Structure 1
Amino acid sequence: MVEILKKITKKVDLFLYFFIVIFFSILIFSCVLQVFTRYILNSAFSWTEELARYSFIWTNLLGAVLCVKKSSHATVTALTDKFSEKRRKKIQIFVQIIIFLVALILVIYGTELTLKTIKQTSAAMKISMALINASVPITGLFIMLYAILNILLLKENR
């Protein structure tokens, strides 16, 4: 089971890295374009700020998935450092279960939000807000995948 999940997550990793690079590139391009048009041409585009904001949302949420994968999210270890290795693993598994449950909430309510905003359009770019809000349930699904993998890996390394 763990080996199958590892193969799946390798492909998901490539997908995530690709789209993080794409969204971050769009973010940088739109910010540079905004500055150039505002200060050099004295006439800014109305859509660049919105594009930067939406790219920032996608970049950060997809980046959060990689933080869960690598367990690089912020932790306070002052208390857990005093526990035995066995107890620390139990705590790590518990934390991954909590992460999974929070991701499940993101999927449930993010999907609800996305479906409610299909017909709502953004102010400047006139795109469906569902394209932006879909980042929440998609992120939740990926976080759930990595939380399961992390739990299995922690149990395997007992």
Structure 2
Amino acid sequence: MSRALDLLFERLAVFVAGAALALALGVMAAQVVCRYLLDDSLVWSEEVARYALVWSSMVGAAVAYRQGGHVAITNLVERLPARLRLAVSRVVHLLILGFGGLVAWTGWALSARNFARHQLSAALQIDIAWVNLAIPVGGALIAVAAIEAIVTAAKPSAGVSTL
């Protein structure tokens, strides 16, 4: 199971987040070149960059959570006894699981409504639901990473998981 999660997060999710970020950077650079050197703008560049950043941030947030890369204030938790520190870690991961589930649930409801409406973006004329789909995907990935953290913290050989 851990191998499958490593493949999902360390390969697929990192690739999606990185590719989306690279796409946003490339499109913004092309926009600058076109605007200042060619004296002409790309009408679609702002939308592509915005949508790519949405996907990059939602998927990247899940990767960062799984890798322990989010900001955490651990000074108080590190001073607790090992058993209490483990309990606090589990509670935090449970709260994050609830948050990820809520984001996935509400994001899916938003995406489903937009798929039903066939609302198109202004410049690209793509269904806006494809952009909104980043929200439930990111939330679901956060929830999966939280479940993994809870299971890992429950194993006796895992030691004490920090926040």
- TM normalised by structure 2 equals 0.90
Counterpart residue type for residue 37 of structure 2: I
Q: Quick check: 1:11 aligned with 2:7?
A: yes
Equivalent residue, structure 1, for 2:136: 137
Once the two structures are overlaid, the 10-residue window that deviates more, 17-26 or 38-47, is: 17-26
Counterpart residue type for residue 8 of structure 1: A
> For 1:73-111, what per-residue CA distance to the aligned partner results, in whole angstroms no more than 9, with x for missing partners?
111123223211221111111111001000111111101
Report % sequence identity.
Answer: 23
Q: Quick check: 1:96 aligned with 2:93?
A: yes
**Uncovered stretches (5+) of structure 2, i.e. residues with no partner:** none
Runs of 4+ deviating beyond 2 Å: none
Residues 141-156 of structure 1 correspond to what in structure 2 (within 5 A)?
141-156=140-155
Give me the whole-angstrom Cα distance separating, in 2, the residues matched to 1:31 and 1:86.
50
Counterpart residue type for residue 94 of structure 1: V
- Give the deviation of 1:125 after TM superposition: 0.8
Q: Secondary structure at the match of 1:95?
A: helix
Is the Cα contact below 8 Å between 2:58 and 2:139 reproduced in 1?
A: no
> For 1:120-157, what per-residue CA distance to the aligned partner results, in whole angstroms no more than 9, with x for missing partners?
11111111111110001111111111111111111112
Equivalent residue, structure 2, for 1:73: 70
> For 1:42-72, what per-residue CA distance to the aligned partner results, in whole angstroms no more than 9, with x for missing partners?
1101100110011111111111011111122
Counterpart residue type for residue 69 of structure 1: R
How many residue pairs match? The answer is 154
Counterpart residue type for residue 155 of structure 1: A
Equivalent residue, structure 2, for 1:82: 79
Q: Secondary structure at the match of 2:75?
A: coil
- TM normalised by structure 1 equals 0.92
Once the two structures are overlaid, the 10-residue window that deviates more, 76-85 or 35-44, is: 76-85
Equivalent residue, structure 2, for 1:36: 33
Give me the whole-angstrom Cα distance separating, in 2, the residues matched to 1:102 and 1:111.
14
